[in-house]
Amino acid sequence: MLQVLGRPNSVNVQKVMWCTAELGLEVERTDIGGAFGGNDGAEYLSRNPNGKIPTLIDGDYVLWESNAIVRYLCDQYESGNWCPDTAQKRGHANMWMDWYQTALHRPMTVLFWQLIRTKPENRDFAATEAAIGECANFWAMLDQHLTERPYILGGEPTMADIPLGCAAYRWHSMGFERPDLPALRTWWGCISERPAYKEHVMLPLT
């Protein structure tokens, strides 16, 4: 059985858990990281020298970096639409996944830490406002893309929707004023109907 090492409230673990559930894979997940600790110990580091979560163990095969894990799972195990079937479609999926990781993830992390993990009296108002503005610009870019198609690559959800889909739950669930982005909202509404997403991503924000 696949093993996933990482606590369930991590957005990077959520990507992997949502993906395994969509693919119908059996998984044993172990709480590691955050309050659980364990990701700085020798055993964990021997598998993942980066000391971050998640780590995937598939028999003798060990993999870390959440987007790499999602790509591997879709490639190795999928039997439907999750792994796009041509190099060009996979190129576009990878582009959006990398764009999330390198553009949107950083300001989303600032926002999440400020609004969820920092007491109101200790929040940095200027940093929060700046992160909202930065995120809004990036989400508007995705909104524009989604005016032409229901999912990031077209008519069906693929691995491209996974990292951005996880972040979209946080964007729509934290308490601040958001710009109205109708195509983004429609896309997120469709994703939110998926049982695997509800189970692994739509969790209390902690």
Q: Where along the sequence are the contacts to ligand GSH (CB under 6 A)?
A: 10-12, 33-34, 39, 52-53, 65-67
Supply the minimum distance, in Å, between the C-beta of residue 96 and ligand GSH: 15
**Whether the Cβ atoms of residue 94 and residue 86 lie closer than 8 Å to each other:** no
Closest contact distance (angstroms) between CB of 40 and ligand GSH is 8
- The minimum distance between CB 20 and ligand GSH, in angstroms, equals 15
Report the nearest approach of ligand GSH to the CB of residue 1 (Å).
21
Which CB sits closer to ligand GSH, 53 or 168? 53
- List strands edge to edge, sheet with 61-64: 27-30, 2-5, 55-58, 61-64
One-letter amino acid of 197: Y
Smallest gap from residue 2 Cβ to ligand GSH (A): 16
Residues β-bridged to residue 28: 3
Q: Which is nearer to ligand GSH, 34 or 154 (CB)?
A: 34
By beta carbon distance, the residue nearest ligand GSH is 33
Residue among 77, 70, 66 at smallest CA distance from 105: 66
Q: Judged by CB, which is closer to ligand GSH: 6, or 157?
A: 6
Closer residue to ligand GSH (CB): 20 or 67: 67
Q: In the chain, which ranges are continuous DSSP H helix?
A: 11-22, 42-47, 66-77, 87-99, 105-115, 125-146, 161-173, 182-192, 195-200
Q: At what angle do helices 182-192 and 125-146 cross, to 10 degrees?
A: 80
Q: Is 200 helix (H, G, I), strand (E, B) or coil?
A: helix
CB closer to ligand GSH, 11 vs 167: 11
- Minimum CB distance to ligand GSH, residue 86 (Å): 25
Q: What is the DSSP letter of 82?
A: S
Which of 33/157 has CB closer to ligand GSH?
Answer: 33
Two tokens at 69?
């894990």
By the 8 A CB rule, do 107 and 138 touch? yes
